[in-house]
């Protein structure tokens, strides 16, 4: 352990919450831990191994194993010697690998130790302490969900516009008799949106004559 860390006095930490775990199929079982800003829209996905995923899931689901797993054992050892974990931080990302840091406190002294984020978060859940990421990490690896939603809305709007254009093009090729029959069918099917479009097409043609 060390009382000194280049991350010790950082003031740009952002608090995170755990959203959940998802499974992804690769050559080996892989899980993605999804974190989110507590007071923001960004998400931070981190790939973790199956053991760490199980350890995190056990605490999230409030399951008590018959025998303590590694993170439970570590927690018991730390508490036995009066050591408390006060926070964990994802401090940086290098070549797509995240690096974590655990802040420990004992007898009024604060210590920082390096850790994989998955282990740090598994321990944070057991000590019920905050989880942070530096601003730099979120700026590089964070996904702004609000921007994704805006993009999805634009794509949906574009699809709707294309669909409406296709429908208008299709209706313009039908005769008035075919339009009247199609409108009657749309009304019977309670498809009033289509019926309204057919009505507008009929009125447009009647206005041209």
Exposed e or buried b per residue across 107-130, where buried means at least 16 C-beta atoms within 10 angstroms of its C-beta? eeeebbeebbbbbbbbbbbbbebb
Look up tokens 């080996």; give the residue. Answer: 28
The pLDDT of residue 23: 83
Residue pair 131/121 in contact by the 8 Å Cβ criterion = yes
Q: Which of 31, 9, 30 lies closest to 22, judged by CA?
A: 31
Rounded Cα distance, 44 and 32, in Å: 10
Q: DSSP readout, 162-180?
A: HHHHHHHHHHHTS-HHHHH
- Alpha carbons within 13 A on the beta-carbon side of 30: 9
What's the pLDDT at 79? 97
Domains and CATH numbers, the chain: 13-141 (3.10.690.10), 146-208 (no CATH)
Whats the size of the chain, residue-wise? Answer: 209
Please give the DSSP secondary-structure letter assigned to residue 2.
B
Cα(162)–Cα(165) distance, rounded to whole angstroms?
5
Q: What angle do CA 143, 148, 151 make, to 5 degrees?
A: 150
Query: Which regions of the chain are under pLDDT 70?
Result: 1-11, 26-29, 146-168, 208-209
In this predicted structure, what is the pLDDT of residue 145?
79
- What is the per-residue pLDDT for 184? 82
Q: What integer pLDDT is reported at residue 6 of this predicted model? A: 40
Pairing of strands 131-134, 84-94: parallel
SS3 (DSSP) at 19: strand
Model confidence pTM above 0.85:
no
CA-based torsion, 61, 52, 23, 42: positive or negative: positive
């Amino acid at each position: 352990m060390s009382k000194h860390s280049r991350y010790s006095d950082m003031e740009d930490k952002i608090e995170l919450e755990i959203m959940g775990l998802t499974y992804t199929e690769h050559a080996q079982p892989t899980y993605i831990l999804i974190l989110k800003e507590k007071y923001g829209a960004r998400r931070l996905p981190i790939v973790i191994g199956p053991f760490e995923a199980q350890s995190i899931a056990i605490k999230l689901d409030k399951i008590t194993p018959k025998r303590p797993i590694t993170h439970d054992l570590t927690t018991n050892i730390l508490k036995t010697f009066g050591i408390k974990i006060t926070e964990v931080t994802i401090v940086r990302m290098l070549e797509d690998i995240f690096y974590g840091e655990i802040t420990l406190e004992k007898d009024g002294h604060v210590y920082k130790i390096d850790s994989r984020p998955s282990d740090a978060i598994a321990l944070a859940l057991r000590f019920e302490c905050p989880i942070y990421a530096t601003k730099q990490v979120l700026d590089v690896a964070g996904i702004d969900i609000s921007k994704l939603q805006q993009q999805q809305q634009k794509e949906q709007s574009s699809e709707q516009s294309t669909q409406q254009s296709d429908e208008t093009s299709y209706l313009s090729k039908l005769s008035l008799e075919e339009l009247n029959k199609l409108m009657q069918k749309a009304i019977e099917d309670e498809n009033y949106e289509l019926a309204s479009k057919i009505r507008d097409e009929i009125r447009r043609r009647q206005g041209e004559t």
